[in-house]
């Protein structure tokens, strides 16, 4: 029979238990980390699409606000998303409205695309038509 030294405990089977607990903890941490990586990737894609939509609206708004009033009204009626926008944002639709307020003719553009979730609101930007010197004098300003 083997002799044990006094004061030392016999640890038979403890190493197996430690390895089992370690494997369990590693598996739990890896499953949590995998879920987080997928969620972070989805958030990054959503943010990238939102920034792209904002840039697309900004470009369209810059172009429309420099046009004369009649041309701007016609352009808003026939406005469509660009080819790059349709590729990047599935189901993209671009719409606009024009209204009058204290600052003049206000143009509001809205871009929406197919997405799910509670954050599925369209992106909106508004701007005002650039007035020429003659228009300012006609309105008495």
Q: What is the 3-state secondary structure (H, E, C) of the chain?
A: CCCCCCCCCCCCCHHHHHHHHHHHHHHHHHHHHHHHHHHHHHHHHHHHHHHHHHHHHHHHHHHHHCCCHHHHHHHHHCCCCCHHHHHHCCCCEEEEEEEEECCEEEEEEEEECCCCCCCCCCEEEEEECCCCHHHHHHCCC
Indicate whether 1 belongs to any domain: no
Do the domain assignments include residue 71? Answer: yes
- The pTM for the full model equals 0.71
Query: Looking at the domain assignment, is residue 5 inside a domain?
Result: no
In a domain, 6, yes or no: no
Number of independent structural domains in the chain: 1
Tell me the residue range of the domain where 37 lies: 14-138
* Residue 136 banded pLDDT, cuts 50, 70, 90: very low
For 91-119, the pLDDT digits (tens) are 899 999 998 888 888 999 999 998 876 66
Whether 9 is in a domain gets the answer: no
């Amino acid at each position: 029979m083997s002799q044990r030294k006094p004061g030392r405990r016999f640890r038979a089977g403890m190493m197996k238990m430690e390895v089992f607990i370690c494997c369990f903890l590693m598996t739990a941490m890896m499953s949590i980390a995998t879920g987080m990586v997928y969620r972070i990737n989805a958030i990054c894609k959503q943010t990238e699409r939102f920034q792209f939509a904002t840039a697309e609206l900004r470009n369209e708004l810059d172009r429309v606000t420099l046009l004369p009033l009649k041309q701007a009204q016609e352009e808003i009626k026939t406005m469509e998303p660009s080819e790059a926008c349709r590729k990047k944002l599935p189901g993209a639709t671009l719409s606009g409205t024009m209204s009058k307020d204290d600052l003049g003719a206000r143009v509001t553009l809205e871009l929406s695309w197919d997405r799910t979730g509670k954050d599925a609101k369209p992106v909106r930007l508004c701007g005002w038509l650039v007035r020429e010197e003659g228009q300012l004098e006609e309105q008495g300003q």
